[in-house]
Amino acid sequence: MLRVSGDSANHVVDQFVFEAYEPLLKRRYMQCVLMLAQSLELVLMLCVETWLFRSVRYRRTKANNEIMGALRGRFYAATDRMTLGKLRRLAVALAIWQAPPRTLAELDAAIAQLPKHTGKKVKDSDLASIPDEALRAAAVHLDGTNFVDLRNAVAHKAYRPPQEMAELCYERVPRMNRLLMKVFGVAQGQLVMPPKAG
């Protein structure tokens, strides 16, 4: 049952995971992996957006509201064609930056820099320098994951993963989703339906 005060139920990220369970049961492992990849891609997008916009403070004047609207438009345009791999590298880079933008000017500069961080190979020393332990753990795990390679093999080479690999993905990707949403401060909806609900 939904809480009366709640305006959201299952988060859309969870819905992707729920939808991946039926293909897993029916041995459609390619579809399962693609749905899990979609859930991770959405989580990364939410993490990047939250990191950029959550700390920005400005006077709510008409002019500033228009500037913020334009900056959001630029952000969506900059990330519209980013793939799962690019979003992964971008999220790791943001974790290394540490200080999110706090003014409209800083936000403008940060959005302009986003494409520069999608192709960089992250150094181990940069990952080790992240002071927040949870954020460092998430960044290290995200940087080292080979799930992006698996997703690309399925999507572009019609690779059919074996059952063990699909089950491992179904176990680990939702865990990664929850970790990332927690450390980046993404608000999660009220969880109503478990993945294996009949």
- Selected residue with higher pLDDT from 32 and 18: 32
Give pLDDT tens digits for 70-91.
Answer: 999 999 999 998 989 899 889 9
* Spatial separation of the C-alpha atoms in residues 128 and 40, rounded to whole Å: 23
Q: In this structure, are residues 40 and 138 in contact, taking their beta carbons and an 8 Å threshold? A: no
* Spatial separation of the C-alpha atoms in residues 28 and 156, rounded to whole Å: 17
Give pLDDT tens digits for 40-67.
Answer: 999 999 999 999 999 999 999 999 999 9
* Spatial separation of the C-alpha atoms in residues 37 and 191, rounded to whole Å: 20
- What average pLDDT does the segment 97-118 reach? 91
Torsion over CA of 151, 165, 124 and 85, rounded to 10 degrees? 10
* Spatial separation of the C-alpha atoms in residues 197 and 180, rounded to whole Å: 24
- Selected residue with higher pLDDT from 17 and 159: 159
The mean of the pLDDT values for the chain is 86
Residues ≥6 apart with Cβ < 8 Å to 21? 32, 170, 195, 196
Give pLDDT tens digits for 124-138.
Answer: 888 888 888 888 888
pLDDT at 157 over 90: yes
Give, for 68, the enclosing helix (H) or strand (E): helix 62-79
**Is the whole-model pTM more than 0.85?**
no
3-state secondary structure 32-60: HHHHHHHHHHHHHHHHHHHHHHCCCCCCC
* Spatial separation of the C-alpha atoms in residues 150 and 137, rounded to whole Å: 22
Give the pair of three-digit tokens for residue 86: 């690019």
pLDDT at 1 over 50: no
